[in-house]
Amino acid sequence: MTTPHQAAAGVAATGDVAFDFNASINDVIETLANGVHGYTAAAKQLDDVDTQHTFHELAASRRNVTEQVVRAATDEGLDVDGDVDGTAVGAMHRAWIAVEGTIAGDSSVVESAITGETHAKEVLEDALEHAFPEPVRAALRNALTDVETSLRRLESTVASS
């Protein structure tokens, strides 16, 4: 078991495999940032005003949990890149959503957001399998709750359309 002190150092041995806490937390932060940027960009592609409003709310909530994770990781001494622009893959996903929104409409945009949230959930669940310091784990759990809530809202949007 990795101690919080080892986690703060950034890399810890778990069995024969070294786990890089810094790389993991930065992956989480980039993934959460993808959600912020994705919801904001996708809202512009939507025709339905209520769905646009939902996407803006989801972006604001995701921004909040991203900031919480960054703050907790920094406070615990993890090396946070500070780059919350998301990833190249996330940028490509957002570009694809723009094309889909033009061609296929709102339901396709919402389905793409569900795909992104499913990925974010997997990234967070993976991070929570490791012994991050408790304040970081609490922020990660809060982020996972945010993603799960977003998924339910998006699935509800699909079901009602």
Crossing angle for the helix pair 21-45 and 49-75, to the nearest 10 degrees: 160
Between 93 and 56, where is the model more confident?
A: 56
Residue 28: pLDDT band by 50, 70, 90 thresholds?
Answer: very high
Sign of CA dihedral 156, 63, 117, 92: positive
The pTM is what? 0.81
Tell me the mean pLDDT in the region 18-40: 91
Are residues 38 and 98 in contact, defined by beta-carbon separation less than 8 angstroms?
A: no
Tell me the mean pLDDT in the region 77-89: 69
